[in-house]
Amino acid sequence: MRSAPTILHLDMDAFYASAEQAAKPSLRGKAVVVGGLGPRGVVATASYEARKFGVHSAMPMGQARRLAPNAAYLVPRFGLYREISEQVMGLLRELSPLVEPLSLDEAFVDLEAGGVADSAESARAVGERLRADIRAVTGLSGSVGLAASKMLAKIASEEAKPDGLRLIAPGTERALLGPMSVRTLPGVGPATGDHLRRAGILTVAEIAEAGEDELVRLLGKAHGGSLYAMALARDERPVVAERESKSVSVEDTYDVDIHDRVRVRAEVARLAERCVQRLRASGHSGRTIVLKVRRFDFSTLTRSETLRGPTDDPGVVQEAAARLLEAVDTTGGVRLLGVGVTGLTDYTQEDLFAQAQAEAQTASAAVVSLVKDEDDGSAQAVGPEPERAEEPVAPAQRRWTAGHDVRHAEYGHGWVQGSGLGRVTVRFETPLSEPGRVKTFRTDDPQLEPAEPLPLVGAPATDGPAPRASG
Distance CA 13, CA 23 (A): 15
Query: Can you give the C-alpha Rg of the chain in angstroms?
Result: 26
- 318 sits in the region (left: phi over 0; alpha: psi -120 to 50; else beta) called alpha
**106 catalytically annotated:** yes
- From 76, 75, 56, select the one nearest 255 (Cα to Cα): 56
Contact 25, 32 (CB under 8 A): no
Q: Which of 106, 173, 267, 273 is catalytic?
A: 106
Contacts of 354 (CB under 8 A, 6+ apart): 309
Work out the burial of residue 224: count CB atoms within 10 Å of its CB; fewer than 13 is exposed, 13-18 middle, 19 or more buried: buried
What 134-137 contacts at long range (C-beta under 8 Å, 24+ apart), as own/partner pairs, is 134/10, 134/12, 134/88, 134/91, 136/457, 137/87, 137/88, 137/91, 137/457
Give Cα separations from 102 to 107, 293, 328 (angstroms).
5, 23, 30
8-state DSSP, 113: T
H or E segment and range at residue 418: strand 412-420
Q: Residue 441's Cα: distance from chain center in Å?
A: 31
Q: How many CA atoms within 13 Å lie on the side-chain side of 250?
A: 18
Q: Which residues are catalytic?
A: 106
